[in-house]
Amino acid sequence: MTELTLAPAPLPLDRSRHMVFVAYHQVGLLDLTGAQTVFWAASRAMSERGLPGYQLHTASLEGGLVQTAEGLCVETERLDQLTELPIDTFIVPGAPDICQNLDNYADLVNWLRTASRQARRTASVCSGAFLLAKAQLLDGLRAATHWAMCDTLKRRFPSIDVDADAIFVQQGAIWTSAGVSAGIDLALALVEADCGREVAMQVARDLVVYLKRPGGQAQYSQLLQSQSEDSVAFEHLHLWLEQNLGDEKLTVERLADQARMSQRNFARVYKLKTGRTPAKAIELFRMEAARRMLENSPRNIDQIARLCGFGDEERMRSTFQRNLSISPRDYRSRFTRAD
């Protein structure tokens, strides 16, 4: 296992930090601009306090216009013109087709391998982890990427401990994040580490995003997952299920009635379309609702268990242990952060 490189201490608050966002052909637009907007907003918040914020640079190997995957072109500086600056952080966004075209980025990978040594920290957003992996910056480390690319990252770079659940992961001076919008969560965490929680909270409020998605929180919800699978016929059922989880008498028979199908046919078709039994779906939806309440609600564990339809704390505890290998109390302790 590679020894972690400890991140140097952050610069004092009275000094600007140079942040370099690495652009390249077909880069993901939100991967690039989501995190960038967080640091821009943080600079405004720091200015209100009479303190310097971040100096933001969007740069590419050649400089000039770079076309994003979405078709919008962004103006960039040349990366080699920034080498004399005291770079605080490199942010490496991902691209939709990076897995298929990774070998095309050899020059950028070589540059990253060398230039990252000059910065206090290096971070990737989404599939940008593949560029860090190719540059051998993730060898022996735990890392995150888009959940749909985790298996590919693990297969192509077996020395990396790929965390398929994490929103973001810090390993010393290296940070990696999950898919696309998770770059915003990563950037908020970096701002909090640099400027303190008060500034990060102000940025989160200004951008109307959550600050409470800790790095180890699961990447996707059961409802979102159900929408992404071959289960269009059950979209309305899943929404109804979300609204009726507190009913302890919620049964497969009631779901079948709601879907206007016989219980036997419903159980067969549901398993075929979603990959899980209706009973398992009820369990997972309840567990997700409980997770949200554990993260954000002051209610006690037993109240949450009843509100989510588990009936009592013990039944909820068994469900959490079976699916997450953690108790509800430990989950709350790990994922709740005081404002």
In the chain, the domains with their CATH numbers are: 17-207 (3.40.50.880), 222-335 (1.10.10.60)
Q: Say what the pLDDT of residue 330 is.
A: 83
Q: Where are the alpha helices (DSSP H) in the chain?
A: 29-48, 106-115, 128-134, 150-156, 182-195, 197-207, 222-228, 235-243, 252-258, 263-274, 278-296, 301-307, 313-324, 328-335
Chain segment 6-28, per-residue pLDDT in tens = 555 555 555 779 999 999 999 99
What is the mean pLDDT for each group of 10 consecutive residues in the chain (339 residues)? 49 75 97 96 94 96 97 96 92 94 96 94 97 98 93 96 87 92 91 90 79 50 50 78 88 92 93 87 90 87 94 92 83 66
Q: So what's the pLDDT on residue 273?
A: 84
- CA 248 to each of CA 125, 176, 263: distance values in angstroms, whole numbers, following the listed order: 41, 40, 19
Crossing angle for the helix pair 29-48 and 197-207, nearest 10 degrees?
A: 120
Please give the Cα distance from 54 to 73 (Å, whole number).
23
Q: Distances in Å between the alpha carbon of 273 and those of 143, 261, 268?
A: 31, 14, 9
Is residue 74 within 8 A of residue 94, CB to CB? The reply is no
How far is residue 207 CA from its own chain's centroid? 17
Q: DSSP character for 259?
A: T
Per the CB < 8 A criterion, the answer to whether 212 and 296 are in contact is yes
260 C-beta neighbours (distance < 10 Å), count? 8
Specify the pLDDT at position 158.
96
> Cα separation of 8 and 118, whole Å?
11
Torsion (CA) 291, 293, 297, 303 in degrees, nearest 10: -110
The pLDDT value recorded for residue 11 is 53
What's residue 290's pLDDT? 92
Q: Give residue 229's pLDDT.
A: 46
Predicted TM-score of the model (pTM): 0.66
CA distance 81 to 86: 12
Longest CA–CA separation in the chain, Å: 71
| Geometric angle at alpha carbon 161, from 160 and 167, rounded to 5° | 115
Neighbours of 35 (CB within 10 A): 28
d(CA 105, CA 101): 7
- The per-residue pLDDT for 248 is 83
